[in-house]
């Protein structure tokens, strides 16, 4: 059987952070579509998956993301997990991850999550400076983040990720270094380090437009990024994706599926799927429906998939596998993107790998490319006329 990743979106949070545009709603006050009804809807969606898919794949990674999955009752999470296990073959060594906000972690919850079978927790810490956390609109302080980490470890979670953010209001190099040092000293198996993205529709976006959002300069942002790379590598973490590092063997199995275009199936509002070379997604909102890509065999759809391929695989530090490109699209990478590879301005952002015969065999971001991912991605996408 082919392997599959299963994603479940839990769109609830205690409170919305000031920078975040993920699909999530305040947990309390969702009217008739409160978490319990939502969990039932997701279970139904799982049951309704075609037998062909259920029988053709074996899930080796389950990922409950959000929002904040840990802000709803573990009974609801258990119901969804059970529905997955009843309907799909789940391999014995599957990675079963859940995202958590520190404020929602208690001893009882951590033990319940372990008992349900979750074996990896990804916790949003962002910073260990209370002033920075306040400016981000986080509901927890640094002390609670550290306590929750300890609680999860005590409950037996041997595979943990911590999310950090840099380039955020109120942060300077010293505060960033201090957060990094303290998080590294905890020794989580995985650390994500995200540069702040200013997303439309968030309070940060409005402040930014009004010129009121004070964030570190771009130069400082890049120095913060490089500091993270140095410290993480010195501490034995492998930098394997633009914003992700892990101890060897602890790369996130689920996210690797996204970045290498392996099959995954998403349940819940806004969840995306990629199966049999086809993409489909659920609409946003609590009463979501599934939508399919139109004209999936058209030239446009094929270009879109090539764009997705570059967009995801180029984020990996090992870069793009041009052989896989040929297998997926029946074309040579160089025939499609040859002009870009000749572009001198772009060349400094790329590591172009050629075999002894001079043929292109791989492509990765150079270290200045890592500082300019948006520029590089834009050039590739534009060249496909998307």
Ligand X SMILES: C[S@@+](CC[C@H](N)C(=O)[O-])C[C@H]1O[C@@H](n2cnc3c(N)ncnc32)[C@H](O)[C@@H]1O
Helix or strand holding residue 153 (H, E):
helix 142-154
Q: How many Å apart are CA 284 and CA 252, to the nearest integer? A: 25
Cβ-proximal residues to 330 (8 Å cutoff; 6+ apart), any chain: none
**Does residue number 101 form part of the binding site for ligand SF4 (CB under 6 A)?**
yes
**Closest distance between ligand SF4 and the C-beta of residue 219, in Å?**
26
Helix or strand holding residue 108 (H, E):
helix 107-116
Q: How many Å apart are CA 48 and CA 375, to the nearest integer? A: 41
**Does residue number 124 form part of the binding site for ligand SF4 (CB under 6 A)?**
yes
Q: Is 154 exposed, middle or buried (0-12, 13-18, 19+ CB in 10 A)?
A: exposed
Q: How many Å apart are CA 180 and CA 178, to the nearest integer? A: 5
List binders of ligand SF4 among 61-90 (CB under 6 A): 66-68
- Total binding residues for ligand X by CB under 6 A? 16
**Closest distance between ligand X and the C-beta of residue 225, in Å?**
12
16 binds, among ligand SF4, ligand X, none (CB under 5 to 8 A by kind): ligand SF4
Task: Return the residue nearest ligand X (CB atom).
Answer: 124
**Does residue number 13 form part of the binding site for ligand SF4 (CB under 6 A)?**
yes
Binding segment (CB under 6 A) for ligand X, from list 46-54, 65-73, 111-119, 148-156: 65-73
**Does residue number 196 form part of the binding site for ligand X (CB under 6 A)?**
yes
**Does residue number 20 form part of the binding site for ligand SF4 (CB under 6 A)?**
yes
List binders of ligand X among 122-151 (CB under 6 A): 124, 126
Helix or strand holding residue 36 (H, E):
helix 35-47
What is the sign, positive or negative, of the torsion defined by CA atoms of 14, 18, 19, 24?
Answer: positive
Q: How many Å apart are CA 34 and CA 368, to the nearest integer? A: 46
Q: How many Å apart are CA 327 and CA 339, to the nearest integer? A: 21
Of these, 22, 33, 281, 311, which contacts ligand SF4 (CB under 6 A)? Answer: 22
Binding segment (CB under 6 A) for ligand X, from list 64-72, 205-213, 275-283, 299-307: 64-72
**Site for ligand SF4, rule CB under 6 A:** 13, 16-17, 20, 22, 24, 66-68, 101, 124
Interface positions with ligand X (CB under 6 A) = 19-20, 22, 65-66, 68, 99, 101, 124, 126, 163, 165, 194, 196-197, 199
């Amino acid at each position: 059987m082919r392997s599959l990743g299963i994603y479940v979106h839990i769109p609830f949070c205690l409170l919305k952070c000031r920078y975040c545009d993920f699909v999530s709603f305040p947990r309390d006050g969702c009217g008739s579509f409160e978490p319990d009804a939502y969990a039932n809807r997701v279970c139904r969606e799982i049951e309704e998956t075609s037998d062909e898919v259920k029988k053709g794949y074996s899930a080796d990674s389950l990922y409950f993301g959000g929002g904040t999955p840990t802000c709803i009752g573990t009974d609801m999470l258990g119901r969804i997990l059970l529905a997955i296990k009843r309907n799909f073959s789940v391999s014995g060594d599957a990675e079963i991850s859940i995202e958590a906000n520190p404020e929602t972690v208690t001893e009882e919850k951590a033990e319940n999550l372990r008992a349900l079978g979750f074996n990896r927790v990804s916790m949003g810490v962002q910073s260990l400076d209370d002033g920075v956390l306040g400016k981000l609109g986080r509901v927890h302080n640094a002390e609670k983040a550290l306590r929750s980490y300890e609680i999860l470890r005590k409950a037996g979670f041997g595979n943990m990720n911590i999310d950090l953010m840099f380039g955020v209001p109120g942060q300077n190099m010293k505060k960033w270094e201090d957060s990094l040092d303290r998080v590294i000293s905890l020794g989580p198996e995985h650390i994500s380090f995200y540069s702040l993205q200013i997303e439309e529709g968030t309070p940060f976006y409005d402040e930014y437009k009004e010129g009121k959002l004070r964030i570190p300069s771009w130069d400082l942002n890049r120095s913060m990024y490089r500091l993270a790379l140095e410290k993480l590598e010195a501490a034995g973490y492998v930098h394997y994706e633009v914003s992700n590092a892990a101890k060897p063997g602890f790369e996130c199995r689920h996210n690797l599926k996204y970045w290498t275009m392996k099959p995954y199936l998403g349940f819940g509002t806004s969840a995306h799927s990629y199966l049999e070379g086809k993409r489909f997604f659920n609409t946003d909102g609590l009463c979501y429906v599934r939508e399919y890509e139109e004209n999936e065999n058209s030239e446009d759809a094929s270009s879109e998939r090539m764009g997705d391929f570059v967009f995801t695989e180029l984020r990996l530090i090992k870069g793009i596998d041009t052989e896989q490109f040929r297998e997926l699209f029946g074309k040579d990478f160089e025939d499609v993107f040859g002009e870009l590879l000749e572009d001198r301005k772009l060349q400094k952002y790329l590591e172009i790998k050629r075999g002894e015969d001079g043929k292109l065999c791989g492509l990765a971001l150079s270290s200045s490319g890592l500082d300019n991912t948006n520029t590089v991605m834009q050039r590739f996408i534009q060249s496909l006329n998307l």
